[in-house]
């Protein structure tokens, strides 16, 4: 069975930037084929991705977050845990789980940096949609060859 629905999970930390990834994703995949889910932050994405994958409803799940160095915690540890968790969700369920998570070491809440990262998230959303579509095409070819 070929799934035509996609899940898009987005962290609400820096939502004004992260939400742009969904804009890019929707440039290639129609909005009516995407179920959107918000979570508080990046750390909450892997569990929801795994739960959504287990439903069997989605061809792929894209997850977007912006993990910045806030000076309070080691953001690189959080980012690594999130990426590892997303990979594990995909490997455990067989559903592609794509990361649109950016972890800049140099981010300041200025208009200049915000504009740069908003644009970058649009591009990364586009790349995730392209990856989701390519994986689906490859899987369809494999199924037809069997």
pLDDT at 138 over 50: yes
Average pLDDT on 3-12 reads: 92
51 known member of a binding site: no
Coil/strand/helix, residue 113: helix
pLDDT tens across 90-131, in order? 999 999 999 998 776 676 677 887 888 889 899 999 999 999
Q: Where are the domains of the chain?
A: 6-145
CB 66 within 8 A of CB 36: no
42 known member of a binding site: yes
Residues classed as catalytic? 74
CB 128 within 8 A of CB 25: yes
Token reading at 109: 């809440």
Quote the distance between the C-alpha of residue 90 and its chain's center.
12
CB 86 within 8 A of CB 46: yes
What is the C-alpha end-to-end distance of the chain, expressed in Å?
14
pLDDT at 2 over 60: no
pTM over 0.95: no
CB 13 within 8 A of CB 41: yes
Does the domain at residues 6-145 carry the CATH identifier 3.40.50.960? yes
pLDDT at 45 over 50: yes
CB 84 within 8 A of CB 76: no
Q: What is the structure's pLDDT at 105?
A: 65
67 known member of a binding site: yes
66 known member of a binding site: yes
Q: Which of 1-5, 36-40, 133-137 has the lowest mean pLDDT?
A: 1-5
């Amino acid at each position: 069975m070929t799934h035509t629905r996609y899940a898009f999970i987005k962290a609400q930390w820096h939502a004004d930037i992260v939400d742009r990834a969904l804009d890019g994703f929707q440039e290639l995949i129609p909005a009516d084929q995407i179920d959107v889910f918000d979570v508080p932050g990046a750390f909450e994405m892997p569990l929801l991705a795994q739960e959504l994958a287990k439903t069997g409803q989605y061809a792929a799940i894209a997850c977007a977050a912006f993990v910045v160095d806030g000076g309070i915690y080691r953001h690189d540890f959080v980012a690594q845990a999130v990426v590892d968790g997303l990979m594990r969700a995909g490997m455990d369920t067989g559903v592609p789980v794509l990361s649109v998570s950016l972890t800049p070491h140099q981010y300041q809440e200025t208009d200049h940096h915000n504009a740069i990262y908003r644009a970058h998230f649009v591009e990364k959303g586009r790349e995730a949609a392209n990856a989701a579509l390519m994986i689906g095409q490859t899987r369809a070819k494999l199924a037809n060859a069997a």
